[in-house]
Amino acid sequence: MRSLSGAGAEARDDAAIGLHDQPLLVAEGIAKSFNGVPALRDGRLTVKRGTVHALCGGNGAGKSTFLNIVMGLLHRDEGSIRIEGVPVDFRSAADALRHGVAIITQELSPVPEMTVAENIYLGREPKIGGLLVDFPKMRRTAKQLLDDLEFDVPVDACMRDLSLAQVQLVEIAKALSYRADIVIMDEPTSAIGEHEVHILFNALKRIKARGSGIVYVSHKLTEIFEIADEYTVFRDGRFIESGPISSIDRNHLVTQIVGHEIKTVEKGQPNEGAPILLEVRSLSRGSHFKNISVNVAAGEILGIYGLLGSGRTEFLETVYGIHAPSEGEVFLDGKRVDPGNPKKCIRQGMAMVPEDRKDVGLVLCGSIAHNIALSSLALRAVSGFVRRKAEAAATDRMMRLNRIKAASPHVAVETLSGGNQQKVVFARCLLTNPRLLICDEPTRGIDEGSKQEIYAFLREFAAKGNGVLVVSSEAPEILQISDRIAVFRQGRLEHVVDGRETSQQMLTDLAS
Amino acid sequence: MVANTMSNVTTDVRSRKIAAVGPYLKSFSIVIVFVVISAFFAVANEYFMTWLNWVNLLRQSSINGILAIGVTFVILTKGIDLSVGSVMALAGMIAASLVTSTNQHFVLWAILAGAGTGAALGLVNGVIVTSFNVPPFVATLGMLSMARGMTLIFSDGRPVPNLSESFRWIGGGSVAGVPVPVLILFLVFAIGWIVLSYTTFGRYVYAVGGNEKAARTSGISTRTVVASTYVISGLLAGLAGLVLTSRTTAALPQAGIGYELDAIAAVVIGGTSLAGGRGSLVGTLFGALIIGTINNGMDLMGVSSYYQQLLKGAIIIVAVMLDQFRK
């Protein structure tokens, strides 16, 4: 062992030479088909001790199938998995956990009525005499765990009272409490803000210094370059390449994920004399946001940037009429918008792509056609009856226009990939012929290829003289698409900056 | 983009398979269950397969069928209506009071009064659920008791007999050999089916049940839609109450007790999800027919009504178990 320049370096050196030369996890030639259709043809992954290994790939690249196989949730058709040289074949997630493999998924599963400590130790509560739950001990260990990770979550709080980000942190703490050797994180940051991401990454650094291996799955490339030591790319169910992250750049990674080079979308030239499309006059809503005045010109994309809890989502929802404002007014094309009525907002020319497509965006069990037509049904109906032919033609057009890939318009939306689901939401919005599109995190959980498609679409939409109001928690995204950026902080509009003259650093500084 | 296209091709093929088999399997399975049960009784009893028995069976199923169609609307929005049994009793009682020998009005007024009572109580349910955020189970459980109480108060606990002949025609008459209640059932089914399949309201019912937030974001007045389903359920309960009262030739204050359970059972057997957003009236119709067939067949075989209860409950559970298994 060489000089001790730091805990992380020590662990890494440890892995490189000496006893732990053996990789923690080696998976080779993993294949899996569903009903004869291969979802994964050749999955490979080698995770070394003390590293964060990014597993990258577009939606449907086979990452989830691969991880489910590693966790024992699915049974592989072919291939081998070895943990520290020993072949394994897990039968369930519990089985995997016993062997030191833990997973943190996107799907949160808290028991809302229980406290943080009770949730962390659910099903393995410390007991007194094997019968009674030892609550003081449970509290103590839970507090210790959260303190060690530097997660700022009170152990006695009810899960129901926590923010989404805090719930996510608790779930992460729970998985880590198993002291697993291999921790798999599937999009752990999709629901949390930049501040929490920072805390999480610090925790990851400590875990990896302990000698654990972390498999990190995320569509956010910025994060991957920040936290990962190594990377592996899957595409079309196959292993593509692997190596240290320091040896590649962002472009290379995107190209490997997508399979060809992507052109980033160019910004339009803002038209100085363009008329005002949306005018928001000193809008307030309770404690969520106060006195916000902002305009969107025809042809403009206005980005809203702010941390979680800055009031950005509530602001969008109030403009769209989901909530009634406590003060202030909204004008579209010079006409006052009836507050608190999404139906009238749609009729006046607004449309909204909400933050969580599964929770508020789509009727998952409904068909593609029914989802696309949902907002515009009433606009087209004749005395209450659906005009089926017109509807079929319109959905058909929208599916082609938005390149929604599906067997038929009658397939349930829940069977589509994330990117295609989001395109269905866009299609529904467009069918009402909006002048103003309001997007809340339009690319969350979507692969890089689809992201660029959505950016291009937004740009094209604006270029036709329409307006776009978009919220994103990813600074590079906001910078890429916005003409102007409104920075929100604690419910107030702090600055409005020019999208072309702002750096990522500036933006994050202004917001925090 | 290549990666994307490729991966989508694989999911496409998979979803196409599901799409191709799914709906047929779904709508056929209930029919298959119905045919199997019918075949069993046909073998067990020679009288079962006669025309007369089928007319009888349909007539016996008609009240439950009408109730179940109304309840389907409510369940599609993720709600429940426990009050239909009591609502039908009150509606029948009020209608009957207008067509007795001492207080004889034109039969149409009785029908309007009965149906109107049902719709009004349904509206109360709907407003309590949507405007005061009372869970549907609680709101309609309360209405179950209140409507029964109103029936008892209104009638002073006594039956209302001696109904006019034209009123008795609703439950006892027939047109071209088909009993009037059966005609009403098919008419209600046809209208309900058109509403759910071809109108924007029908779409909204499915959308609200599938995801209320998404429906609201899409500009749907979710409260109005949900409240309307309770009005429909109440209206049809009122209609069923008219048929029941007319058939029993007297309005009984204890009429319709427990009918809500058979109606909900028919909806559930018919494959409509209690979680909302999925289901169909065709399923509900066959669900009601299956319950009717079981009752009728076991009556013919001389099975004691005690055992009938037991078997019916078991069949409901097995039907839903099979449904879960298929998923």
Contact A360, A354 (CB under 8 A): yes
| Nearest-neighbour CA in chain B from A193: distance (Å) | 23
Q: What is the dihedral of CA A141, A142, A145, A147, to 10 degrees?
A: -110
pLDDT in tens, A180-194: 889 898 888 877 777
CB atoms A236 and B6 under 8 Å: yes
Tokens of residue A390, six digits: 């017109």
Poorest-confidence range of A5-19, A31-45, A240-254, B302-316? A5-19
* Residues of chain A neighbouring B3 (CB-CB closer than 8 A): 57-58, 60-61, 235-236, 257-259, 447, 449
In terms of Cα–Cα distance, which of A352, A249, A245, A334 is closest to A297?
Answer: A334
pLDDT in tens, B172-212: 999 998 999 999 999 999 999 999 998 999 999 999 999 99
At B6 the pLDDT is 39
Name every residue in B having a CB less than 8 A away from some CB of A: 1-19, 198-204, 206-207, 210-211, 213-221, 277-278
CA distances from B55 to A426, A503, B35, B177, B244 (A): 52, 79, 17, 9, 17
Q: Is B235 exposed, middle or buried (0-12, 13-18, 19+ CB in 10 A)?
A: buried
Contact B58, B286 (CB under 8 A): no
Contact A179, A99 (CB under 8 A): no
Residue whose tokens read 């309840």:
B71
**Number of cross-chain residue pairs from A and B with Cβ atoms under 8 Å apart:** 155
At A190 the pLDDT is 73
Band of residue A120 on the pLDDT scale cut at 50, 70, 90: confident
DSSP A266: P
CB atoms B214 and A361 under 8 Å: yes
Nearest residue of B to residue A387, measured between CA atoms: B198
At B19 the pLDDT is 43
Chain centroid offset of residue B236 CA: 8
At A269 the pLDDT is 54
DSSP string, A155-201: TTSBGGGS-HHHHHHHHHHHHHTT--SEEEEESTTTTS-HHHHHHHH
Backbone dihedral angles phi then psi of residue A286, each to the nearest 5 degrees: 45, -130
Poorest-confidence range of B9-13, B310-314, B317-321? B9-13
Band of residue A218 on the pLDDT scale cut at 50, 70, 90: confident
Band of residue A287 on the pLDDT scale cut at 50, 70, 90: confident
Poorest-confidence range of B15-19, B51-55, B128-132, B144-148? B15-19
Band of residue A469 on the pLDDT scale cut at 50, 70, 90: very high
Whole-number mean pLDDT of chain A?
A: 84
| Nearest-neighbour CA in chain B from A317: distance (Å) | 9
At A102 the pLDDT is 86
Neighbours of B65 (CB within 10 A): 30
Neighbours of A142 (CB within 10 A): 24
Nearest residue of A to residue B6, measured between CA atoms: A236
Nearest residue of A to residue B5, measured between CA atoms: A405
Mean pLDDT, range A284-309, rounded to an integer: 89
Half-sphere exposure of A385 (CA within 13 A, CB side): 9
Strands A301-306, A484-489: pairing kind: parallel
Sheet hosting strand A230-235, strand order edge to edge:
A86-87, A78-83, A25-34, A37-47, A238-244, A230-235, A52-56, A213-217, A182-186, A101-104
At A15 the pLDDT is 43
| SS3 annotation, A62-76 | CHHHHHHHHCCCCCC
At A8 the pLDDT is 43
The three-class DSSP label of residue A456 is helix
Instruction: Give me the amino acid identity at A274.
Output: A
Sorted by sequence, the CB contacts under 8 Å of residue B12 that are 6+ apart come out as A405, A406, A407
Whether A373 shows a pLDDT value over 50: the answer reads yes
Percent of chain A with pLDDT over 70: 91
Whether B11 shows a pLDDT value over 50: the answer reads no
At A308 the pLDDT is 76
Whether A303 shows a pLDDT value over 70: the answer reads yes
Half-sphere exposure of A155 (CA within 13 A, CB side): 20
Whole-number mean pLDDT of chain B?
A: 89
Nearest to B10 among A60, A406, A419 (CB): A60
| Nearest-neighbour CA in chain B from A489: distance (Å) | 26
Mean pLDDT, range A372-384, rounded to an integer: 78
Half-sphere exposure of B192 (CA within 13 A, CB side): 29
At A258 the pLDDT is 78
Mean pLDDT, range B304-324, rounded to an integer: 82
Nearest to B215 among A39, A235, A363 (CB): A363
Neighbours of B17 (CB within 10 A): 15
CA distances from B288 to B2, B292, B301 (A): 51, 6, 20
| Nearest-neighbour CA in chain A from B276: distance (Å) | 10
Q: Which residue has the higher pLDDT, A119 or B115?
A: B115
At B184 the pLDDT is 97
The H or E element containing residue A353 is strand A350-353
